[in-house]
Amino acid sequence: MTSDHLSRTGFRRAALGRRTGCNIETIRYYENIGMMPDPPRTAAGYRVYDETHVSRLRFILRARQLGFSIEEIRGLLGLVDSGSQTCAEVKERTERHLADVRARIADLARIERVLSETVTKCSGENVPECPVLEALTPRPVLA
């Protein structure tokens, strides 16, 4: 690695992955779908990253950790990139996402309740009859 090819602060994909905890294939994926900018290249075609890429990737990763979809993140990044973001707009988007998260929790909580209630009815013995299987086997409509 010569300092001709990588500027004093530049580094490559593996280093970006190491600094952010991101899989290096994922970095390329984010570039392909336009979430990360196409970085400059060395003469040999190697990507060269700097601190701006670290920041942007961390933003994306943190948003993913908070359950934002790629499209939601793309929207947030678009606002920030254009400098047109306002707290009002971001708050609204976050509240929409939050509603979605709460809906998913409600779904899972319903599942959790049914499963845990059913499982308590299980004898846990070596018999073929099982309340779980009965719950999965809908009874005839008229019986």
Binding site for a second copy (CB under 8 A): 55, 58-59, 62-63, 65-67, 76, 80, 83, 85-88, 90-91, 94-95, 97-98, 101-102, 104-105, 108-109, 111-112, 114-116, 118-119, 122-133, 135-138
The window from 38-46, 89-97, 123-131, 135-143 that contacts DNA (CB under 7 A) reads 38-46
**Under the criterion CB under 7 A, does residue 62 sit at the interface with DNA?**
no
Helices (H), the chain: 13-20, 24-32, 51-65, 70-82, 87-120, 131-136
CA atoms of 90 and 79, how far apart (whole Å) = 9
- Measured CA to CA, the distance from residue 83 to residue 89 in angstroms comes to 12
Q: Which does 100 bind (CB under 5 to 8 A by kind): a second copy, DNA, none?
A: none
Q: What is the biggest distance separating any 2 CA atoms in the chain, rounded to whole angstroms?
A: 82
Within 97-136, the residues that bind DNA by CB under 7 A are none
